[in-house]
Amino acid sequence: MTASETAVGTRTAHLAEMHSRFLQFLRGRIGDPATAEDILQVAYLKAMQHESELRQEESSVAWFYRILRNAITDHYRQAATRSRAIDQFTAEWSEGYEMQLQNQACTCIREILPDLKPEYRSAIEQVDLGGESVESFATSQNTTANNAYVRVYRARRAVARKLVQVCGTCATHKCLDCSCKLNK
């Protein structure tokens, strides 16, 4: 065994002996013990792969701490990237899900609208089907916001009662699988 191989082996053994100190260092910055252990194992592999980069005058411990700090930075970058990807996926999925629900919603609502009182019909058409805010609806109806909220609430209750009469069980299941007599 050459002198340089002996030095490398001694440095590697010294790094292995400091396992608990390195792990404590990581846990203080990562929080999750299992993740800290994973990062340490990856850092050991990286150190073994790049031990030729260690200069004679440099402390192997300081060099390894630099590897650990870089590993921590990489960990947080990857976590941020994952978080952004999850947020984007969730937003796209939610938007698609809402559109899917709108497309599947019972078409009977439009069929029963003519049977409602005119003020209830306009509340459902403008707020629920048209997407208008209740405050905007109140302004268009020349009434207070409180009165508009009550009107929308009563209109929804009237629609629900009518849907149960007309649609039966499909109304009980939120009309997502409409199989009532109006759609046949």
**In this structure, are 9 and 95 located in the same domain?**
yes
How many CB atoms neighbour CB 57 within 10 A? 5
Q: Mean of the pLDDT values across residues 12-17?
A: 77
Q: Round the average pLDDT of the chain to a whole number and report it.
A: 78
**What's the pLDDT score for residue 104?**
47
**In this structure, are 15 and 47 located in the same domain?**
yes
More confident of the two residues 108 and 98: 108
Q: Mean of the pLDDT values across residues 106-123?
A: 83
Token pair in block for residue 37 = 């252990």
**In this structure, are 96 and 149 located in the same domain?**
no
Contact 42, 78 (CB under 8 A): no
**What's the pLDDT score for residue 170?**
55
- The alpha helices in 18-59, defined as continuous H runs, are 19-30, 33-49
Q: Which of 100, 121, 142 lies at the terminal end of a domain, its last residue?
A: 100
Q: Mean of the pLDDT values across residues 41-54?
A: 84
**In this structure, are 24 and 59 located in the same domain?**
yes
Q: For residue 24, is pLDDT > 50?
A: yes
**In this structure, are 122 and 93 located in the same domain?**
no
Structural domain boundaries enclosing 143:
106-183
- Residue 107: pLDDT band (50, 70, 90) is low
Q: Which of 68, 100, 132 lies at the terminal end of a domain, its last residue?
A: 100
Answer yes or no: pTM beyond 0.75: no
Q: Mean of the pLDDT values across residues 156-170?
A: 77
Q: What is the 3-state secondary structure (H, E, C) of 141-180?
A: CCCCHHHHHHHHHHHHHHHHHHHHHHHCHHHHCCCCCCCC
Residue 85: give its domain's CATH number. 1.10.1740.10
